[in-house]
Amino acid sequence: MHVTTASLQFSTKAAALVLRAARVSGPVFRDDAAAITGLSISTVNRQVSALLKAGLIRERADLTPPGAVGRPRVPFEVNTDGFLTVGIHIGYQATSITTHDLQHRVAGAISIPTPQAATPEEVVAQVGASARRFADRWVGKRLLWAGVAIGGRVAEGGVVDHPRLGWQGVPVGRLIAEALELPVSVASHVEAMAAAEQVVNPGDQNQNFLYFYAREMVGIAFSVDGAVHTPAAGPPTIGHFPTGPTTLLDPDNTGRLEQTVSDSGILYAAQKAGVDVHSLDELRAAARTGNTVANAILTERGEVLGRTVALIADIFNPDHVILGGQAFTDYPEALPAVSKALRATTVITQRDVRVARSAITVQQKAAGAVALDAIYADPLEALARTA
C-alpha cells in the first residue's frame, strides 16, 4: 500500500501542467495549452498523447473548428466520467466521506458521526469501513486514490498526532489504505482547506494568502506562490491565543481562543446565559427569531474572531486573508461584526479579506484536494500506482 503526505502545491511536471491546463481552461487546443503552460508544442503533444492513453483526458472532436486539419486542432479536456477519488475528513464530532471527479467536483457525499471506539486505531478502521461501503456504490468507476484530511500533526507515512482527540502516532494512512485498497495521501485539515482554495481559485496561484479556519477547532495555514507551507513541526497552533475581554462568551474565563469561539464553547456560553438550546442549529434559529442573547453570543464570536484574524494577518502581511469554516459561513449575520473588529484592530487599512468560496462544503473540498493531490502533482506516476 502506498501512503504519503500530501504536497499541497502546484506541480511543474510537464504532464501535471498539461492536465491542469485541461482542468482550468478545457476544452483547450494544444497550441493554447503550450501558451498557458510555457511548454514547447512538441512537449505538449507528447504529454497529451500519454494522458489520452491513460484516459485522464479526452478529445472533443465535436468542437474541432470547421476546415481544421490534423489532431492538434482537436481540443482536449479532463475526463470526468471514468475516474473518481475518495475524500475523508475526520472531524472532532463528524466525519465526511466524499467522492470527487478529476475536476475536484463532488460526485457524492455522506456524513457520519466520528466513531467512538476504545482505541484510535479502531476509530480509523471504522471510518475506513464506512468509506469502503460508500465507495462500493460507484459501480463502473475506477477509484484512483484516497485522501484524508484531519486535525493535528501529520508525519511522513500518514502517521497522525491529534492532541484534541488524544491520538499519538496513529497510522491513519495505512489503516485507510488497507480498508479501501487504494493509495492514500494524508494532510492536516486546515492546510488541506487552503489547498482547496487554490484548486477552486486557480488564478490566485501567484498570490500569498493566509487561511483562517474556525468551527469546533481553530487553525491557520499560509500559502506562498501556489504552495501551502507545511512546517516540519506541524501546523501552527492558535487555540491557546488570548481572546481579550468577553461579555457572554467564555463564562469560565479561560481566556483561550478555542474554548471561547468553538462550536461547543459558544453552545456552552448560550446555555450558561439561559438560552434553552442544545445544538448550533437551534442557537442560530433562536438568534434569527428574535432572541437577543443568542444573537449577541454569535455576534461576540464574530468580534473575537475578527480581532484574532487582524492580529495574525498583521504578522504575516499576506496579499489576501481567506476566512473558512462554519463559524464564518453558517451565521453570515455576524460577518459585519467580524469586519468591524478586524478593521478596528489591524494596522493595515486596505487588507483584502474574503470568505472562502467553499463555504458549507469546506470539509468536503479539503478532503477532495488531498485525494487529488498526487494526481495533480504527477498524473502518470499516480495512475501507475493504481494499476
2 falls within a domain: no
Q: Are both 277 and 325 inside the same structural domain?
A: yes
Question: Could you tell me which residues come within 8 angstroms of residue 185 by beta carbon, excluding any fewer than 6 positions away?
Answer: 3, 4, 5, 6, 145, 146, 147, 148, 158, 173, 370, 371, 373, 374
The domain that holds 63 is classified in CATH as 1.10.10.10
Looking at the structure, tell me whether residues 352 and 239 fall in a common domain.
yes
Q: Please indicate, yes or no, whether residues 318 and 255 belong to a single structural domain of this protein.
A: yes
Please tell me the predicted confidence (pLDDT) of residue 182.
Answer: 96
Same domain? For 163 and 274 the reply is no
Same domain, 101 and 123: yes
Residue 334 lies in a domain: yes
Residue 3 lies in a domain: no
Q: Render pLDDT for 163-192 as a digit per residue (tens, 0 to 9).
A: 888 899 999 999 999 999 999 999 999 999
> How much of the chain exceeds pLDDT 90, in percent?
80
The pLDDT of residue 285: 97
Instruction: Say if residues 302 and 249 touch (Cβ distance below 8 Å).
Output: no
Q: Assign 325 a pLDDT band (cuts: 50, 70, 90).
A: very high
Q: Flag whether 259 is in a domain.
A: yes
**What is the model's pLDDT at position 26?**
83
Lowest mean pLDDT among 53-67, 125-139, 239-253, 297-311: 53-67
* Mean pLDDT of the region 268-288: 96
Q: Which of 61-75, 242-256, 277-291 has the lowest mean pLDDT?
A: 61-75
pLDDT at 201: 74
- The total number of structural domains in the chain stands at 3
DSSP labels, 288-342: HTT-HHHHHHHHHHHHHHHHHHHHHHHHH--SEEEEESHHHHS-GGGHHHHHHHH
Task: Using the 3D structure, point to which of 78, 112, 134 is the last residue of a domain.
Answer: 78
Cβ-based burial of 387 (10 A; exposed 0-12, middle 13-18, buried ≥19): exposed
Domain boundary among 34, 55, 78: 78
Range of 377's domain?
83-196+362-385
What is residue 232's predicted lDDT score, i.e. its pLDDT? Answer: 75
Take residue 180 and report the three cell numbers written for it. Answer: 479501501
Residue 234 has pLDDT above 90, yes or no: no
Report yes or no on 329 lying in a domain: yes
| Cell numbers describing residue 358 | 467553499
Question: Could you tell me if residue 210 is inside a domain?
Answer: yes
Residues 186 and 273 in one domain: no
Cell numbers 466520467: residue: 81
Q: Does any domain span residue 221?
A: yes
Final residue of a domain: which of 55, 78, 101? 78
Question: Which pLDDT belongs to residue 68?
Answer: 57
Pairing of strands 106-113, 94-100: antiparallel
Does one domain contain both 192 and 240?
no
| Residue pair 205/18 in contact by the 8 Å Cβ criterion | no
- What mean pLDDT do residues 54-73 have? 79
Q: Which residue has the cell 475524500?
A: 87
- Tell me the longest C-alpha to C-alpha distance in the chain: 75
- Please state, as a whole number, how many other Cβ atoms lie within 10 Å of the Cβ of residue 23: 21
pLDDT recorded at residue 164: 83
Question: Are 216 and 350 part of one and the same domain?
Answer: yes
Q: Is residue 30 situated within a structural domain?
A: yes
> Is the domain of 209 the same as that of 273?
yes
Q: Are the CB atoms for 302 and 337 separated by under 8 Å?
A: yes
The per-residue pLDDT for 380 is 95
In a shared domain, residues 257 and 302: yes
Q: How many C-beta atoms lie closer than 10 Å to residue 311's C-beta?
A: 17
d(CA 321, CA 323) in angstroms, rounded, equals: 7
Q: Any idea what the CATH number is for the domain that residue 378 is in?
A: 3.30.420.40
> Please, are residues 146 and 87 in contact by the beta-carbon 8 Å criterion?
yes
Give 203's pLDDT tier (boundaries 50, 70, 90): low
- Check whether residue 230 and residue 324 sit in a common domain: yes
Provide the mean pLDDT of the chain.
Answer: 92
250 and 369 in a single domain? The answer is no
Q: Write down the residue that cell numbers 464574530 correspond to.
A: 302
Write down how long the chain is.
387
- 28: amino acid identity, one letter: V
**pLDDT tens per residue across span 65-100:** 776 555 657 999 999 998 999 999 999 889 999 999
**Residue partners of 318: CB distance under 8 A and separation at least 6:** 208, 209, 210, 222
Cis peptide before 379 (omega within 30 of 0): no
**Which pLDDT does position 42 carry in this prediction?**
95
